[in-house]
Structure 1
Amino acid sequence: MAFLVSGTLQAAAQLADAWDSLGRQGKYRVQGSRVALILSSSGVSVAAAAALDGVFQALGFENCEKRKVSVQRFHEELSLFREQLDIQRGAVGCALVVLMAPSGQLRQPQLLVQELSRCGALQGCPKIFLLLSSGLKAAWEPEAFLTSLGEICNQRPHWSLLQLLTESDSRPSAQYDLSGTRAALLLAVIQDRLGAQHDVAALVDLCQALDFKVTLRIDPTAQAFREELAQFREKLDTYKSPVSCALLALMAHGGPQGQLLGVDGQEVQSEMLGQELNCCQALHGRPKVFLLQACRGGNRDPGVGPRALPWYRRWLRAPPGIPTQADVLQVHVDAPGSTGQADILTVYSAAEGCVAYRDEEKGSDFVQTLVEVMRANPGGDLIELLTEVNRRVCELDLLGPDSDERRKACLEIRSSLRRRLCL
């Protein structure tokens, strides 16, 4: 993308809102102050700091704290920042945290995300994480990306932040050309996953309605997961006509390290499956969509209740609780030569470390809500549609098979798309 010179951008969006978002089409109403925190390790150039100031100004962040500390102290400093926000009397509308460190040093950014998600002052408010990394031996050069981002923000102030991050240039019409063949591969374990058959049927119908050529495999073993994907890639590379888009849906039991379980109980890493499709020559520069309906751990999110409301708001209708990991946008900007790749959109049915819920009679809330939203607006921007899917899923109260207590769920959306994707 034109404004991303230093590497590939990956936006992992977990965006949701409270009840009042329904009256404003799911848009955040950022009325309070916009606060920012910059945590940087040694080696950050003056030019990078100046470029950051331009981004803050373009996005309307008037209150910014800058701290240069070791990477080991990032969590401590972020904890202090959270405590300061919670003791302030003024309302906070949005928070932006910038983390700058050499590649490989910031190993568990999710812990920092969880720390800020505990902030009571930011409950239901958007929290943006911008993670900038450089090569260990390379000079720090994030200023080109930051300068371009600030320029685009000034040029297109009416665009949403996700639009700004995915656009490859300043033309509002820039989007992927999907006039060629669309291909979809659905690999689903339904044995001992009651309700999964409803997800399979719904996804097949949706893909066919969107003109995808669908390949479906039921109850694959771990080895069959690999083989089916390899055959799918080889088939795409033999197409005589151009391939414009590929969709891969993986549905199975899952684990905390990203593994999926085949029908034989053996494990296969979902990231390895994604890398197989990334090697497809026919899909070079083409959008690749990954849908994963699987658990990513055993955590069950109880959610957090709404902040105190005037008595008449409570009397009319109290807003529902929201997942603790909602309202977060992470933007990773890697150094040149990193492993990140472009034109990929990955959607997880659960946040990292959490359970993915599935109803025995109707299927999973993720897949069923996704189909419902996309059928209502099949030509819409996919990132925006997924944000709406997540908003609806976050508002649900879910009841797992092993618990009588209501739980919350939150999607995780990772994107390195360079253009708008409209199916």
Structure 2
Amino acid sequence: MAFLVAGTLRVATQMADTRDSLGRKGKYDVRGPKAALMLISPGVVAAAVTALEDVFQALGFESWERRQVPVQGFLEKLAGFRERLDAHRRPVGCALVALVAPRGQLRQPQQLVRELSGCRALRGCPKVFLLLSSGPGSAPESGAFLAGLRELCGRSPHWSLVQLLTELLRKVTEESTGGTCCPVLRSSLRGALCLGGVEPWRPELAPGPNTQYDLSKTRAALLLAVIQGRPGAQHDVEALGGLCRALGFETTVRMDPTAQAFREELAQFQKQLDTCRGPVSCVLVALMAHGGPQGQLLGADGQEVQPEALMQELSCCRVLWGRPKVFLLQACRGDVLQMYAEAQGPLGNGNFFPCWSLKRTLESASSNSFSEVTAGSSCRGAPPGRSDQADILTVYSAAEGYVAYRDDKGSDFIQTLVEVLRANPGRDLLELLTEVNRRVCEQDVLGPDCDELRKACLEIRSSLRHRLCLQP
């Protein structure tokens, strides 16, 4: 899967959708009890366990459950942890779960994440998962990650988790052996999360090589959108294209590409970048289409193309090594419908007042075929000390396996993204995307499938190593 990081480390952050649990708009209140669980598989080196315990202490978790169990038993132990939290019937500030196993054994962590996401005591509370490989054959960078995390937590307890992990990704990637280690953050957070227990603070860092990407050179954007059979998609293209041009991106727009044209347009875009006379600072690629049941994109001809394969090809572009690459995907990633009750939880007075109730259109389309996604491979000819998986930001309009929505005015994701970025073009993009997700989650969707209310939630994947501000 695309978020696998050299078999060494994956960081997944999940949360339930409920407005009332936020102490203040846009920020989490984690002053309540903190719940923590550590699941250790046999074969994990003792040093990794000790380092992980140090991280728990640095994050303010005074006590935690620790279980040693084979990977096959992780789900059962996690279910028991969830039941104990629900049985307490008291609010929880946040939850931290560390899953540690030998390399290659944590192959499908999504099921584990979803198990805890259904915990009633944690609805609306941030849930942080650290997925770590440790044991024979594992790269040593996992220890560097934990050491760096502990050091940053102690030195900058006022930083939000997104800020802290961005800085940590820089340190780990630049200090890793051969430059091959690149952790990835997966987030559906809707607010600033500070696990240090102090007021979240957005530091105004001085621009420099270790704090902010330099976007003073050429910036390029490519928008590929299937308009045919997708009412409202034209509005997304117009809004996003206008935003890109306003931010100084040389913007190319292509309508109704076939599956083959998706590949050809990306190849042509990459060729233009490789032959560009001057340096390229940043690229933005938006892929908008119907989505298949396994997350495929469907071209205007109904044929499938894998979005991860397209993104991987562009990540290998030589002129983009060390440069930020932003991918926006407006499409379904499966056929699961996010129920309102499942996402929101109890509302106290039991009443619900939708802020709008337009007829929505699912972004999914039926497909009987299946194409297996191959895990991303390294770029050939990548320079020493570089990782082809670094400096990538991918934003999906729906969580893995779920549908995305759109109406005749466009999609909530693209329209909200444009609104937020136009209002705050100089702010850190990861912070802005957290705000976009908060607003999208608060939208109340009345889908065409039935009269029940639905919800949407973005998924953000980042291996950015610096702050990314689209307007310097």
2:340 to 291, 303, 312: 303
- What is the Cα-based RMSD across aligned positions, in Å? 2.7
Secondary structure of the residue aligned to 2:340 is coil
2:254 to 217, 227, 235: 217
Residues 74 and 146 of structure 1, relative CA distance in 2, 3 Å threshold:
same
- Give the superposition deviation at 1:299: 1.0
Secondary structure of the residue aligned to 2:64 is strand
Q: Percent identity?
A: 68
TM-score (norm 1): 0.88
Q: Is the 8 A contact 1:48 1:141 kept in 2?
A: no
Q: Is the 8 A contact 1:14 1:410 kept in 2?
A: no
Q: Is the 8 A contact 1:184 1:215 kept in 2?
A: yes
Which residue type is aligned with residue 309 of structure 2?
M
Which residue type is aligned with residue 30 of structure 1?
V
Within 5 A, what are the aligned runs for 1:127-146?
A: 127-134=127-134, 137-138=137-138, 142-146=142-146
- Give the superposition deviation at 1:136: 6.3
Q: Is the 8 A contact 1:41 1:70 kept in 2?
A: yes
Q: Paired residues, what number?
A: 398
| Aligned residue number for residue 190 of structure 1 | 227
Q: Does the alignment pair 1:282 with 2:282?
A: no
| Aligned residue number for residue 154 of structure 1 | 154
Counterparts of 2:103 and 2:451 in 1: how far apart (Å)? 44
- Give the superposition deviation at 1:395: 1.0
Residues 351 and 131 of structure 1, relative CA distance in 2, 3 Å threshold:
same
TM-score (norm 2): 0.79
| Aligned residue number for residue 199 of structure 1 | 236
Where in structure 2 are there 5+ consecutive unaligned residues? 172-202, 356-384
Within 5 A, what are the aligned runs for 1:77-88?
A: 77-88=77-88
| Aligned residue number for residue 327 of structure 1 | none
Q: Does the alignment pair 1:375 with 2:375?
A: no
- Give the superposition deviation at 1:382: 0.6
| Aligned residue number for residue 376 of structure 2 | none
Q: Is the 8 A contact 2:290 2:298 kept in 1?
A: yes
Residues 396 and 184 of structure 1, relative CA distance in 2, 3 Å threshold:
same
| Aligned residue number for residue 408 of structure 1 | 455
1:258 to 274, 292, 295: 295
Within 5 A, what are the aligned runs for 1:310-321?
A: 314=349
Counterparts of 2:443 and 2:225 in 1: how far apart (Å)? 24
Counterparts of 1:284 and 1:15 in 2: how far apart (Å)? 32
Counterparts of 2:32 and 2:152 in 1: how far apart (Å)? 24
Counterparts of 2:155 and 2:99 in 1: how far apart (Å)? 25
Which residue type is aligned with residue 401 of structure 1?
P
Q: Is the 8 A contact 1:6 1:141 kept in 2?
A: no
| Aligned residue number for residue 355 of structure 1 | 403
Which residue type is aligned with residue 27 of structure 1?
K
Secondary structure of the residue aligned to 1:232 is helix
Which residue type is aligned with residue 152 of structure 1?
L
Q: Does the alignment pair 1:93 with 2:93?
A: yes
| Aligned residue number for residue 363 of structure 2 | none
Question: Relative contact order (C-alpha < 8 Å, sep 6+): which is higher?
Answer: 1
| Aligned residue number for residue 341 of structure 1 | 389
Cα-to-partner distance string for 1:329-370 (whole Å, 9 max, x where unaligned): xxxxxxxx9x9711000000011111110012x100010011
Which residue type is aligned with residue 245 of structure 2?
Q
Cα-to-partner distance string for 1:160-186 (whole Å, 9 max, x where unaligned): 011000113599440111111110000
Residues 246 and 139 of structure 1, relative CA distance in 2, 3 Å threshold:
closer
Q: Is the 8 A contact 2:281 2:323 kept in 1?
A: yes
Which residue type is aligned with residue 324 of structure 2?
P
Counterparts of 1:25 and 1:140 in 2: how far apart (Å)? 40
Residues 22 and 104 of structure 1, relative CA distance in 2, 3 Å threshold:
closer
Counterparts of 2:456 and 2:155 in 1: how far apart (Å)? 36
Where in structure 1 are there 5+ consecutive unaligned residues? 322-336
- Give the superposition deviation at 1:70: 0.6
| Aligned residue number for residue 264 of structure 2 | 227
| Aligned residue number for residue 269 of structure 1 | 306
Counterparts of 2:125 and 2:354 in 1: how far apart (Å)? 14
Q: Does the alignment pair 1:399 with 2:437?
A: no
Q: Does the alignment pair 1:72 with 2:72?
A: yes
Counterparts of 1:79 and 1:16 in 2: how far apart (Å)? 17
Q: Is the 8 A contact 2:7 2:104 kept in 1?
A: no
Which residue type is aligned with residue 372 of structure 1?
E
Greater share of residues in strand? 1
Residues 38 and 146 of structure 1, relative CA distance in 2, 3 Å threshold:
same
